[in-house]
Structure 1
Amino acid sequence: MKWKDQLLNLTAYQPGKTIDEVKKQFNLEKIVKLASNENPFGSSAKVKEALEKVDGSFALYPDGYATSLRFALADFLKVAPEQLVLGNGSDEIILMISRALLRPGLNTVMASHTFGQYKHNAIVDGAEAREIPLTSDGNHDLEAMLSAIDENTSVVWLCSPNNPTGTYITEEKLLNFLKAVPKDVLVVLDEAYYEYVVAEDYYDAIKLVNQFENLIVLRTFSKIYGLASMRVGYGIANKELVTTLEPIREPFNVNTLGQIATETALKDQEFVESCKQKNREGMELFYDFCKEHDLTYYPSQTNFILIDFKVDGNEVFQHFMENGYIVRSGVPLNFPTSVRITVGSKEQNEGLLKVMSQFLEEKKAAVL
């Protein structure tokens, strides 16, 4: 086989353990999954109602233009329908951008501790991935990223709020950065956790899209809308950029049920606001716990928190899992002594905090 050389040492995405796997492995009746930043409150009840009305005609291909969803989304965002590109999750749009703009001889700039698919796709397409370390407080080092851009840079990736730190880029810093980036370099602003943000100095990405022709903003229905299984994400940019990117998109890439579910979910903003408020209340519980036990963490604008336990993150992950809670070890995320925890419901959070206390007490006793 004439495989691309870069594929030979590249591993596929490794999903975490399923709930059923953990139940069987540790003989547990109940498992709480707080590893993938899913919405613990599910999705809007209106989505289930809408899906129950589907007539069952699954033999037909979906609407390839996602017309109804596209126009509903455009109206909600106050943009033109032609400014939107729909994807099988925002992951597919990341892949599309990479396929369209990256190749051997070109490079792409990103943070060193951020969403792994940026680098993964760059490697597949043969481009150089230039990773810039985060600042000491877990933020993008925008000045260093600007310095890394040269005449062969094609794409810059900004994850705000960032995964896995939960930190964000302020409006002032982002605006200054965008003004300094060369016009022939695409800036991808990944806002998967946009709906969870409460920071007052967060920017309005839609206004920025209309101001900068080399900017595309990515969002998803997988997080606060609770529709991760439907795999629907979208990008917002100027019409010319979207028109050029569209030929990369696979035909019929957004399935019929996904289109129905997300359009319905978009209409229930009361559910979104409720989830946002409950998430912030849960986040404060973790903040208080970290302060009480002198644990380092990054203040988060997402539905997850990265906590440093000062021991092997896999050990923390294993202990939590054996006690019925699946979280994400920080080891594969380049934070080897941390774990990333999705904020759950009040009951889930309180249960995990008890397990966290137990773990810390055991570590303390082992030292004495």
Structure 2
Amino acid sequence: MARIQTKSSVEKIVSYPLGSSPEELKEKFNLMAVRKMSDNENVYGCSPEVENSISKAMNSLYFYPDGTVSLLKRKLAGFYNINQDKFLVSNGSEEIIRLLTRAYISPGDEAIMAQITFPRYETNVLIEGGSAITVPLQNGTHNLNTMYAQINKKTKMIFICNPNNPTGTIVGKTELLQFIKTVPSNILIILDEAYYEYVQSADYLESISLLEKKPNLIILRTFSKIYGLAGLRVGYGIMDSEIVNELHKVKDVFNVNHLAQAAAAAALHDQGFIRECAEKNAKEMEFVSQKLNDLQVGFFPSQTNFIYIFSQYPIAENLIANGLVVRQLKLEGYLDAFRMTLGTREDNEAAIDVINKLLNEKAV
């Protein structure tokens, strides 16, 4: 059978890498246990209120979900004290990235982003026939000066992942504020703040207050990370209502399922649980950072629930064989780098033991 030709913009795209399941890894490497520390999930789960909300929602599964996501939008509007018409709720915040490129990127348009960041920005731009202009990181952080220098008449949008995935770094508030103020108003600025709730630094820009004066600003947040609902896929964007209206034209009608809507509304209500998770994560970040310093292993200072580690010895390829699943992500200038999600204290101690063991083996 002759090969059916895909469109040219799809041919150059590489599929998102998905790792093997823990069960497959146990069998492959003959392991008793595997610690999955690769996908930035919340190891502490989700609010106890979520289970009750899902149980109630189970009684009406024969209905289509609310296409307007009215309950969750009301909850979000009250939480942020922002009008409902500025919210778009989605199947994970990744869906809004896809909707933005679908609605605004035409063949020949350009989008600027960091060279090492969430890969779906580039993928979705390419699918629509646009060009992804990638700018190398500077010490693991977005280089906004160089990104600004790439702006031209073809530029349609700029992606800034803050904190950045996979490095965990943030852009300082003064620098980012100046950048947002300077970018021309006909270019969309997309701030992906998926890890916003984990940030501890006082030098982080609170972006929501800028929306009123910057209608080209879009803020993305999610229930997949600290809220612990990764398996249900709920995200949202906060933006000018005119942009919301345009995205409604290109989104699926029932894009957020019934159980996900109920769970997210319950999760948002329990902010005590969110604060508790953030505090636990901060303690574990301090613990892991200190242990890595003791081992003289390099890493970027992280404001997330993961840490980007780089070793002078090639150990990442052997981590899985020792029961530690991480995400290996190469960064120019950093040998053998990988991203490791923080776990419980037990998880983190075990991970450090594996890293220490492999380092000692390489040093012999």
Same fold (TM over 0.5): yes
- The root-mean-square deviation of aligned C-alpha atoms, in Å, is 1.5
Larger deviation, residues 259-268 vs 302-311: 302-311
C-alpha distance in 1 between matches for 2:150 and 2:331 = 25
3-state SS in 2 of match to 1:158: strand
3-state SS in 2 of match to 1:53: helix
Tell me whether 1:309 sits opposite 2:314 in the alignment: no
Q: Which residue of 1 aligns with 2:297?
A: 295
C-alpha distance in 1 between matches for 2:122 and 2:208 = 26
Q: Which residue of 1 aligns with 2:197?
A: 195
Query: Given the superposition, is the C-alpha separation of residues 125 and 84 from structure 1 closer, same or farther in structure 2, using an over 3 Å criterion?
Result: same
The equivalent position to 1:236 in structure 2, one of 203, 213, 238, is 238
3-state SS in 2 of match to 1:70: helix
AA at the equivalent of 1:360:
L
Query: Given the superposition, is the C-alpha separation of residues 333 and 47 from structure 1 closer, same or farther in structure 2, using an over 3 Å criterion?
Result: farther
AA at the equivalent of 1:230:
L
AA at the equivalent of 2:179:
F
CA shift, 1:208, in A, is: 1.4
Mapping of residues 339-358 of structure 1, within 5 Å: 339-358=338-357
> In 1, are the aligned partners of 2:316 and 2:336 still within 8 Å (CA)?
no
Query: Given the superposition, is the C-alpha separation of residues 97 and 335 from structure 1 closer, same or farther in structure 2, using an over 3 Å criterion?
Result: farther
AA at the equivalent of 2:66:
D
3-state SS in 2 of match to 1:210: coil
> In 2, are the aligned partners of 1:115 and 1:164 still within 8 Å (CA)?
yes
Q: Which residue of 2 aligns with 1:5?
A: 8
CA shift, 1:232, in A, is: 0.4
| Percent identity between the two aligned chains | 39
Larger deviation, residues 48-57 vs 277-286: 48-57
> In 2, are the aligned partners of 1:34 and 1:343 still within 8 Å (CA)?
yes
The equivalent position to 1:133 in structure 2, one of 131, 136, 139, is 136
Q: Which residue of 2 aligns with 1:144?
A: 146
Larger deviation, residues 17-26 vs 158-167: 17-26
C-alpha distance in 1 between matches for 2:22 and 2:148 = 42
C-alpha distance in 2 between matches for 1:209 and 1:248 = 23
Q: Which residue of 1 aligns with 2:127?
A: 124
Tell me whether 1:82 sits opposite 2:63 in the alignment: no
User: Could you give the per-residue CA deviations for residues 31-53 of structure 1, whole angstroms, max 9, x where no partner exists?
Assistant: 21100000011111111122123
Larger deviation, residues 18-27 vs 352-361: 18-27
AA at the equivalent of 1:344:
G
> In 2, are the aligned partners of 1:164 and 1:306 still within 8 Å (CA)?
yes
CA shift, 1:333, in A, is: 9.6
Tell me whether 1:92 sits opposite 2:98 in the alignment: no
Q: Which residue of 2 aligns with 1:114?
A: 117
AA at the equivalent of 2:341:
T
Q: Which residue of 2 aligns with 1:361?
A: 360
C-alpha distance in 1 between matches for 2:331 and 2:297 = 20
Q: Which residue of 2 aligns with 1:324?
A: 323
C-alpha distance in 2 between matches for 1:69 and 1:156 = 28
User: Which consecutive residues of structure 1, in runs of 5 or more, have no partner in the other structure?
Assistant: none
C-alpha distance in 1 between matches for 2:19 and 2:335 = 17
Q: Which residue of 1 aligns with 2:276?
A: 274
C-alpha distance in 1 between matches for 2:167 and 2:242 = 33
Aligned length: 361
The equivalent position to 2:211 in structure 1, one of 209, 212, 221, is 209
> In 1, are the aligned partners of 2:58 and 2:259 still within 8 Å (CA)?
no
3-state SS in 2 of match to 1:211: coil
User: Could you give the per-residue CA deviations for residues 172-220 of structure 1, whole angstroms, max 9, x where no partner exists?
Assistant: 1111101110110000000000000011021111101122110000000
CA shift, 1:138, in A, is: 1.3
CA shift, 1:77, in A, is: 1.2
CA shift, 1:319, in A, is: 2.1
CA shift, 1:334, in A, is: 9.4
> In 2, are the aligned partners of 1:164 and 1:333 still within 8 Å (CA)?
no
Q: Which residue of 1 aligns with 2:70?
A: 67
3-state SS in 2 of match to 1:331: coil
Query: Given the superposition, is the C-alpha separation of residues 333 and 90 from structure 1 closer, same or farther in structure 2, using an over 3 Å criterion?
Result: farther
Query: Given the superposition, is the C-alpha separation of residues 332 and 294 from structure 1 closer, same or farther in structure 2, using an over 3 Å criterion?
Result: closer
Larger deviation, residues 115-124 vs 320-329: 320-329
Query: Given the superposition, is the C-alpha separation of residues 106 and 277 from structure 1 closer, same or farther in structure 2, using an over 3 Å criterion?
Result: same
Q: Which residue of 2 aligns with 1:253?
A: 255
TM (norm. structure 1) is 0.95
C-alpha distance in 2 between matches for 1:349 and 1:37 = 14
3-state SS in 1 of match to 2:57: coil
The equivalent position to 1:34 in structure 2, one of 29, 37, 42, is 37
Larger deviation, residues 237-246 vs 254-263: 237-246
> In 2, are the aligned partners of 1:96 and 1:248 still within 8 Å (CA)?
yes
User: Which consecutive residues of structure 2, in runs of 5 or more, have no partner in the other structure?
Assistant: none
TM (norm. structure 2) is 0.96
